[in-house]
């Protein structure tokens, strides 16, 4: 009798726990994908979550080192898949600058050595442009990205508006207070963010530029 009662109680306890865990998991993941939400966990554009989030941060194929494989050599094929998927699902992309290419730096967390050069002459797509404060290598990448996503070959006379640019939300760097993503000085981070924001806004008049994400509870600046 006692054994039967114990078995029944244990069975009901297990079922109750299962129902609770299912409710918690369903609530957690459905909330994460609800309209008006943001997703940063989808690795590839072909695996778009449902229901679709309003904002998606692309991952694979969206890192600097993956796009610019050598100086001036760009591959946007995977980024194009992300923008197409976003358009199909009525969403927007949040592009996060991340990972310095190995040809530009010995460490993906450290900016190229030209970051603080004086009167540096840039290469394409900024051929012949002299930047008093340097940072040509990064500026060239941001410029190439904006030209591609905005469908132009040069900076417009006035910044484009009306959703012309396929990406309109940008983030200065991923978790810049985490050494595995950024190990340079914070003053360098400030310069990188300012340089990127200046170029983004030169091309896109209705773009949003976020200062960057800090590790720990995902807080944006």
- 68 and 165 share a domain? yes
- 19 and 105 share a domain? no
- What is the count of structural domains for the chain? 2
pLDDT at position 104 is 97
- 23 and 41 share a domain? no
**Which residues is 208 bridged to in the sheet?**
169
Burial of 32 from C-beta contacts in 10 A (0-12 / 13-18 / 19+): middle
pLDDT at position 70 is 98
pLDDT at position 201 is 97
- 128 and 188 share a domain? yes
d(CA 16, CA 199) in angstroms, rounded, equals 56
pLDDT at position 34 is 52
- 117 and 197 share a domain? yes
- 127 and 157 share a domain? yes
- 104 and 13 share a domain? no
- 73 and 29 share a domain? no
pLDDT at position 164 is 95
- 67 and 5 share a domain? no
d(CA 199, CA 130) in angstroms, rounded, equals 15
Burial of 55 from C-beta contacts in 10 A (0-12 / 13-18 / 19+): middle
- 113 and 55 share a domain? yes
Each residue's pLDDT tens digit, 66-118: 999 999 999 999 999 999 999 999 999 999 999 999 999 999 999 999 999 99
pLDDT at position 35 is 52
pLDDT at position 50 is 84
Q: Which residues of the chain have pLDDT under 50?
A: 1-33, 220-221
pLDDT at position 47 is 85
User: DSSP class of residue 122?
Assistant: P
pLDDT at position 82 is 95
pLDDT at position 144 is 98
Q: Are 108 and 99 in contact (CB under 8 A)?
A: yes
Q: pTM of the entire structure? A: 0.80
CA nearest neighbour of 196 among 177, 176, 215? 176
Domain hosting 69: range is: 35-220
- 28 and 104 share a domain? no
**Which residues is 38 bridged to in the sheet?**
55
pLDDT at position 12 is 38
- 92 and 163 share a domain? yes
Tokens 């609770």, located at residue: 20
Q: Give the number of other CB atoms < 10 A from CB of residue 57.
A: 20
Tokens 């509870």, located at residue: 217
Q: Are 122 and 102 in contact (CB under 8 A)?
A: no
């Amino acid at each position: 009798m006692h054994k039967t009662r114990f078995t029944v109680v244990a069975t009901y306890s297990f079922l109750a726990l299962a129902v609770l865990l299912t409710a918690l998991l369903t609530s957690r993941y459905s909330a994460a994908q609800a309209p008006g939400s943001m997703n940063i966990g989808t690795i590839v554009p072909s695996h778009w979550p449902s229901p679709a989030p309003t904002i998606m941060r692309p991952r694979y194929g969206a890192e600097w080192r993956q796009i610019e494989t050598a100086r001036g050599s760009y591959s946007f094929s995977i980024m194009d898949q992300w923008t197409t998927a976003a358009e199909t699902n009525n969403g927007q992309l949040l592009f996060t600058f991340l990972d310095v290419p190995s040809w530009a730096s010995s460490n993906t967390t450290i900016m190229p050595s030209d970051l603080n050069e004086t009167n540096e002459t840039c290469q394409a797509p900024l051929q012949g442009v002299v930047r008093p404060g340097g940072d040509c290598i990064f500026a060239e990448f941001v410029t190439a990205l904006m030209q591609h996503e905005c469908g132009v070959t040069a900076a417009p006379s006035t910044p484009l508006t009306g959703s012309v640019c396929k990406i309109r939300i940008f983030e200065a760097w991923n978790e810049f207070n985490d050494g595995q993503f950024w190990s340079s000085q914070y003053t360098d981070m400030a310069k990188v963010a300012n340089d990127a924001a200046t170029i983004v806004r030169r091309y896109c008049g209705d773009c949003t530029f976020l200062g960057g994400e800090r590790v720990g509870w995902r807080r944006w600046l």
